[in-house]
Chain A
Amino acid sequence: MNITMNHGAGGRVMHDFIQKSVVGHLGNDLLTRMDDAAVLDLPAGSRLALTTDSYVVHPLFFPGGDIGRLAVCGTVNDLSTAGADPLYLTLAFILEEGFPLADLDRILASIAATAREAGVRIVTGDTKVVERGKGDGIFINTAGVGAIPAGVDLSTHNARPGDVILVSGPMGNHEVALFAVREKLPFSTSIESDATPLNHLVQRLLATTPEIRAIKDPTRGGVASALWEICEHSGVAVTVDEESLPVDKEVRGVCELVGFDPLYLANEGKLVVVCGPEAEGPLLEVMGPGAARIATVYRGPAALTMETAIGGRRRLSMLESVQLPRIC
């Protein structure tokens, strides 16, 4: 069975589809009410964080995840980097006529499982169907609301000289996993996307120390772009220690082969954390194996420099354009 125009038409087919498939997977006290707007309770005294993102990934299913898992993780993680505890998500589909219902079901199941993992509820949604040829199977948008507890103030404007910068685990797995399936690399890899909701980790980090200045999730543009943002927003110089950069062996292998730099590759389950120097040890311990201190913050002007593994120094620039495989 495939999606037809009727699935978005507002009539019986759509009603049944939402009841059976969507509510079936995602049902909770708020969603099941089926009101036009969800009415939300928020913890007293907290500030609100709000974010939205659209997901257009290809292929839809990839090692380590799928578009549904990504749609939950991406929004949950954006909220988490503000120090917010993600509570509610919205979910909107744009489906192309002819999209297999079985695939949609699989995606919904994955959304449900990931939302459970993150402890967020999907409270309202929307489904639109466009004619065949007018979409690419499925697009998903999610928006999310989270509560920032009193006293938490994270911002990329907060980095100060003397701070250190940590990354919570190896870089580049998500983008390389997708690249490997999309380009049908002539060898098989066991590289999986790292797509993971990071809210629990963020809460544990925040509970460890008050010395966290900023948290970023290094998605598109990778860790390098996150570091750039910190430099520019805080007006500080950041020096990256090349030797300390965590990269899985297989990911490094693919990068060397096709000319990618792991620092610029998208992650979907990693954090970049700026903190005071005393917080380094305790935070790395919470993050677990694979985490590392990768950079140190110095007085400005804003500049991003790499100290290379051989002791040389060079500039680390912002991602300019899509990374292309090198030619020889």
Chain B
Amino acid sequence: MHSATLKEKVSLLSMALATEARRPLTFMEVCGTHTMAIARHGIKSLLPENVSIVSGPGCPVCVTSAGDIERAISLGDTPGVIVATFGDMIKVPGEERTLGSAANVKVIYSPLDALELARSTPDKQVVLLGIGFETTAPLMAAAILQAHREGLSNFTVLSMHKVVPPALQLLLSDPTSRLSGFILPGHVSAITGRIYYDFLKDSRVSSVVAGFEPLDIMESLYLLVKACMAGDSRPINNYPRIVREEGNPKAMGTMFQVFEPCDASWRGIGTIPASGLAIRSEYKDFDAVRRFDLAEREVPEPAGCLCGAILMGKALPDQCRHFGKTCTPSFPVGPCMVSTEGTCAAWFKYNL
């Protein structure tokens, strides 16, 4: 018997979705990898007109506040300090310049690279920029624990980590929001587990944890449409091959051993209570904020940049007057254009 090809399966799902969706539905994904996968596979072109997907605050680089970028830049210009960071960060504009223009910045691929850098340059202070959500935070925590075991005295982390639930709650608390559902992040959920999202049970939206293959995404969208039509707001796990109900308790344990919740400033959105991760006082020796006595910085957004509204799913990139004109991936104005996972960058690159 002929087994359906990928294209045929997707086409079937696309038709089923169109049949089920009997009213306009707007879904939000909150993960940069989903933003990219949806754009790269052309998934929006397979949805009926009344179903749309917007991107939320899921790109770790994009949600990092300009003030935090400024703190990182000032560290990069401090003699005797090396700032170690993932590549995407170096192009994000702070107030006037980017981190890449600072004197001592090294691009790393894993937190372990930063530990190695600290070991091999004992006369320098290595500051690792901690960005990302529940996926990367445990890795940073593990690096701090390792540094603690080794007694490394020249390694610190500038934690700008964020957690997902408070952002989702903020989005839901907005009375003007027309969101019908969330596509929940696969990687983050592998760490947190599905039950992490049970607070959504009492909300007015449906949600589904989705993987990143095109079929995963199409299937998840179909499940989401069905749940919306049935008024069912229990979070669905449609990525069980990776995501368990309780997630990865060990990684979560490591994360909360080192970090504790704190208020955090999200770029273009503002401060969201308990949405960040600060280094606990037991590990204060590895906290760059304490080591270098870094003050909070308030930095205004670039004039005209709509990243804040875009990250909240309230504006689309082509509504911004800079988009594609004064703001392109080569000359980005705002963070959503800088990160390869940013909504504006994805839109610029892939949108028809």
Interface residues of A (CB under 8 A from B): 259, 305-315, 317, 320-321, 324-328
Q: Are B7 and A321 in contact (CB under 8 A)?
A: no
Q: Nearest A residue to B346 by beta-carbon distance?
A: A314
Q: Which chain B residues have a beta carbon within 8 Å of chain A's beta carbons? A: 6-7, 10-11, 14, 32-33, 39-46, 60-61, 86-89, 91, 107, 109, 131-132, 135-136, 187, 214-215, 218, 328-330, 339-341, 348-352
When chains A and B are docked, how far (Å) is the Cα of A309 from the Cα of B7?
7
CB-defined contacts of A324 to chain B, threshold 8 Å: 87-88, 91, 340
* Pairs A–B under 8 Å by Cβ, sample size 10: A309-B7, A310-B215, A312-B46, A314-B41, A324-B91, A324-B340, A326-B88, A327-B132, A327-B341, A328-B136
Min C-beta distance of A304 to chain B, whole Å: 10
**Contact A310 B87, CB 8 Å, known A325-B109, A327-B60:** no
Q: Are B39 and A314 in contact (CB under 8 A)?
A: yes
Known: A311-B14, A324-B91, A328-B135. 12 other contacts (CB 8 A): A306-B42, A308-B42, A308-B214, A309-B41, A310-B43, A311-B7, A312-B43, A312-B44, A314-B351, A320-B329, A324-B87, A327-B339
Q: How far is the CB of B88 from chain A (nearest CB, A)?
A: 5
B contact residues around A328 at 8 Å (CB): 32-33, 60, 86, 132, 135-136, 187
**Chain A nearest CB: distance from B286 CB in Å?**
21
Complex-state Cα separation, A306 to B39, whole angstroms: 11
Q: Would A315 and B350 count as touching, CB distance under 8 A?
A: yes
List, in ascending order, chain B residues with CB within 8 A of A307's CB: 42
Tell whether, in the assembled complex, residue B329 and residue A310 are in contact, meaning their CB atoms are under 8 Å apart: no
Contact A321–B329 (Cβ < 8 Å): yes
Task: Pick the most buried of B14, B88, B328: most chain A CB atoms within 10 A of its CB.
Answer: B88
- Which residues of chain B are near A305, meaning CB under 8 Å? 352
Chain A contact residues: helix, strand, loop or mixed: loop
For B107, list chain A residues within 8 Å (CB): 325
**B residues in contact with A309, CB < 8 Å:** 6-7, 41, 214
Given the known A-B contacts A312-B43, A324-B88, A327-B86, are A317 and B349 also in contact in the complex, defined by CB atoms under 8 Å? yes
CB closest residue in chain B, given A259? B340
Contact A312 B41 (CB under 8 A): yes
Expressed in whole angstroms, the Cα–Cα distance for A305 and B352 within the complex equals: 8
How far, in Å, is A253 (CB) from chain B's closest CB? 16
Interface of B is mostly: helix
Report B-chain residues with C-beta under 8 Å of the C-beta of A326.
Answer: 87-88, 340-341
B40 cross-chain contacts in A, Cβ below 8 A:
308, 314
Q: Indicate if the CB atoms of A314 and B350 lie closer than 8 Å.
A: yes
Residues of A within 8 A of B340 (CB): 259, 324, 326
By beta carbon, the residue of chain A nearest B347 is A315
Least distance between B222 CB and chain A CB atoms (Å): 14
A315 to B6, CA, bound (A): 21
Q: B350 near A325 (CB under 8 angstroms)? A: no
Nearest-neighbour CB distance to chain A for B72, whole angstroms, equals 14
Contacts of A310 in B (CB 8 A): 6-7, 10, 41-43, 46, 214-215, 218
Q: How far is the CB of A283 from chain B (nearest CB, A)?
A: 27
| Chain B residue, CB-CB nearest to A307 | B42
Q: Residues of A contacting B135 with CB < 8 Å?
A: 328
By the criterion CB–CB under 8 Å, are B349 and A320 in contact?
yes
Tell me if A327 and B88 are in contact (CB < 8 A).
yes
Whether the Cβ atoms of A314 and B42 lie closer than 8 Å is: yes
Residues on B with C-beta less than 8 A from A306 are 42
Q: Is A311 in contact with B11, judged by CB distance below 8 angstroms?
A: yes
Contacting pair B87 A325 (CB below 8 A):
yes
Residue of B nearest to A306 (CB): B42
A312 lies within 8 A of B88 (CB): no
B93 to chain A, nearest CB (A): 14
List the A side residues contacting B60 at CB < 8 Å.
327-328
Min CB gap A151→B, angstroms: 39
Alpha-carbon distance between A9 and B176 when the two chains are bound, in angstroms: 76
> Known contacts A309-B6, A328-B86, A328-B136; is A317 also within 8 Å of B348 by CB?
yes
Q: Please, which residues of chain B bring their CB within 8 A of the CB of A259?
A: 340
Contact A312 B330 (CB under 8 A): no
Which residues of the partner chain B approach A311 to less than 8 Å between Cβ atoms?
Answer: 7, 10-11, 14, 46
Q: How far apart are the CA atoms of A308 and B32 in the complex, in Å?
A: 20
Q: How far is the CB of B91 from chain A (nearest CB, A)?
A: 8
Chain A's closest residue to B188 (CB) is A328
What's the minimum C-beta distance from B188 to chain A, rounded to whole angstroms? 10
Which chain A residue shows the least CB distance to B341? Answer: A326
Expressed in whole angstroms, the Cα–Cα distance for A96 and B60 within the complex equals 44
The 4 nearest A-B residue pairs measured at CB: A312-B42, A327-B86, A314-B42, A320-B329
Cβ-defined contact, A320 with B351, below 8 A: no
Please measure, in the bound complex, the distance between the C-alpha atom of A259 and the C-alpha atom of B86, giving whole angstroms: 13
A327 and B61 within 8 A (CB): yes
A-chain residues with CB within 8 Å of residue B14 when the two chains form the complex: 311
Contact B349 A321, beta carbon cutoff 8 Å:
no
A131 CB to closest chain B CB, in angstroms? 27
A321 and B331 alpha carbons, distance in the complex (Å): 9
Chain B residue nearest to A186 (CB atoms) is B109
